[in-house]
Homo-oligomer: A and B are copies of this chain.
């Protein structure tokens, strides 16, 4: 039986347990283990055996009558499923820091938090526009033969909930969500199958004030975490630019979303392939050439020259750029007609946040999706929103050395110096916790050296020691760890 390397680790803190268990091999051999544990628990051959066993083993385990109650069919893989992540404490602190910032910014903008099931009906995502997101749907049949999917994005759920709530929620709706999204790729590209996404959406506002507010919130977020307009920019366009071009060539309406999805692949697949695909959705060669020319435009003035000043595309974009000045983020944004985004349902302004060094994928993206609710069978309500993943931003922060230190901080560590005083230590800990102090209570009889090491690891400010002679006077020892200062405090005076 081949053992994965990660299964071979013997915890050094436990060598004393392993050692004391060995004499009870009668007990051990009775255990109906499914795998050869002697490889990990042999008394003498562990490569991790250490000699600093300073503690007397406690009575708890060595003469236990318990046996492992669980039969497992197979040895477990200690890794999370392919493409997924665990969040051990240090990763979780970082995630909490990030989400806290998402949440705080959303609340500054008066948005309300919502959430939806991570498992949705597959029908919510079955669009016929050739999107990557649909091809990569993490879908399956449940035990009741229903087609379900782990949500690839949050917007369809939002639309579903808005329709369901109907007139009970006054417009405009301003909602945000931070949710896990999934995709399934057969190919291994080192990409994860899940990520978290921060979404903010405005339902019921037809004007570009909506998009302007959304971009303002992302800018606020960037500033908050130390990212500047030198690091990041927003490319902004409108799908109405394409629509207006396509209208000139009488391209069928149902080609529009498909054409957008194809254009979104520019730079990822060869231009010849792009043209071929565009022809397949009934764009003439003339339409394609004109489209590609328009897509290369990088200035609003030039766009206005091309499309004229009376269309919605130019009007919306001019409104947005004018508002951006008032919001104070003009230096963050630029017009770029090549931006179309990869989701089928966008109808108007689209935008994406990008790394100015050009090393990373889009940091976030969003736009207007005025017809999503009505195509879902709901009312015809204008809407816009964005999605902001947790992956690229962390890469960017690492690149810029802006990733924060988020240390564990437990203010107090409480320890009894005598096994008989364990209960008193519990009383002390309870007293402090009642006053809102975080306390790590040492639950075993440990040498002081160990306690100091633990105190350092948890960044404790105070060490509170319960010793016999002080306790006889109702006192405990309080040591301020930064200064080494130490004094005796009456339990009742402990703050």
B370 touches A72 (CB 8 A): no
CB-based contact A165/B88 at 8 Å: yes
Is A290 an interface residue, CB under 8 A from the partner?
Answer: no
B207 and A73 contacting across the interface, CB-CB below 8 Å:
no
Using known A-B contacts A328-B427, A426-B323, determine if residue A377 contacts B35 with beta carbons closer than 8 Å. Answer: yes
Q: How many A residues touch the partner, as a band? A: 35 or more
Mark each residue of chain A from 53 to 96: 1 if its CB lies under 8 Å from any CB of chain B, else 0: 00000101101111111111111111111101111110011011
At the interface, yes or no: A220 with Cβ under 8 Å from chain B? yes
CB distance from A412 to the nearest CB of B (A): 8
> Taking the complex as formed, is A295 at the interface, i.e. its CB lies under 8 A from any CB of chain B?
no
Residues of chain B with a CB closer than 8 A to A260's CB: 69
CB–CB B123/A73 < 8 A: yes
Interface centre among A76, A119, A437 (most CB of B within 10 A): A76
| A87-B116 contact, Cβ under 8 Å, with A140-B140, A374-B33 | yes
Contact A164 B6 (CB under 8 A): yes
Asked if B129 contacts A70 (CB within 8 A), the reply is yes
Binds B, one of A208-216, A229-237, A266-274, A385-393: A208-216
Interface residues of A in 95-148 (CB under 8 A from B): 95-96, 107-110, 112-121, 123-124, 126-129, 138, 140-144, 146, 148
Mark each residue of chain A from 406 to 425: 1 if its CB lies under 8 Å from any CB of chain B, else 0.
00101001000000001110
Contacts of A439 in B (CB 8 A): 108-110
A348 close to B79 (CB less than 8 A): no
Cβ distance A61 to chain B, nearest Cβ, rounded Å? 5
A180 within 8 A of partner (CB): yes
- A175 close to B (CB within 8 Å): yes
**Are B108 and A437 neighbours in the complex by a CB distance under 8 Å?**
yes
With CB as the reference atom, state the residue of chain B lying closest to A85: B117
A118 touches B374 (CB 8 A): no
- Check B127 against A345 for contact (C-beta < 8 Å): no
**Minimum Cβ distance to chain B for residue A383 (Å):** 11
Contact of A375 among B33, B41, B84 (CB under 8 A): B33
Q: How far is the CB of A109 from chain B (nearest CB, A)?
A: 7
Partner of A253, one of B30, B127, B344: B30
By the criterion CB–CB under 8 Å, are B117 and A84 in contact?
yes
- Tell yes or no: A284 within 8 A of B by CB: no
Cβ-closest chain B residue relative to A371: B68
What is the CA–CA distance of A439 and B213 in the complex, to the nearest angstrom? 11
A397 close to chain B: CB less than 8 A = no
Instruction: A10 to B163: give the CA distance in the assembly, Å.
Output: 9
Q: Which residues of B contact A382 (CB under 8 A)?
A: 17, 60-61
Residue A26 at the B interface, CB < 8 A?
no
Q: Say whether A452 faces chain B, with CB atoms less than 8 Å apart.
A: no
Q: Is the CB of B86 within 8 A of A243?
A: no
B114 touches A87 (CB 8 A): yes
Q: Which residue of B lies closest to A17 (CB)?
A: B380
Contacts of A454 in B (CB 8 A): 170
Q: How many angstroms from the CA of A60 to the CA of B163 in the assembled complex?
A: 21
Closest Cβ–Cβ distance, residue A321 to chain B (whole Å): 11
Indicate whether A34 reaches chain B with its CB closer than 8 angstroms.
yes
Contact yes or no, B123 A76, CB < 8 A: yes
Q: How far apart sit A170 and B34, CA to CA, in the bound complex (Å)?
A: 27
Chain A 430-452 residues near chain B, CB threshold 8 A: 430, 433, 436-441, 443-444
A-B contact pairs, 27 of them (CB 8 A): A6-B164, A13-B167, A14-B380, A14-B381, A31-B253, A31-B371, A40-B377, A60-B382, A64-B370, A65-B311, A66-B239, A66-B371, A67-B253, A69-B345, A72-B376, A73-B128, A75-B377, A76-B124, A82-B144, A86-B115, A86-B164, A110-B441, A118-B118, A170-B453, A210-B443, A213-B443, A323-B423
9 nearest interchain CB pairs? A60-B206, A9-B166, A69-B257, A110-B440, A326-B423, A68-B371, A84-B117, A89-B112, A78-B164
| Interface contacts beyond A37-B380, A119-B182, A140-B141: sample of 9 additional A-B pairs, CB < 8 Å, sorted by A | A69-B345, A69-B371, A70-B257, A84-B117, A109-B441, A140-B140, A142-B184, A213-B426, A328-B430
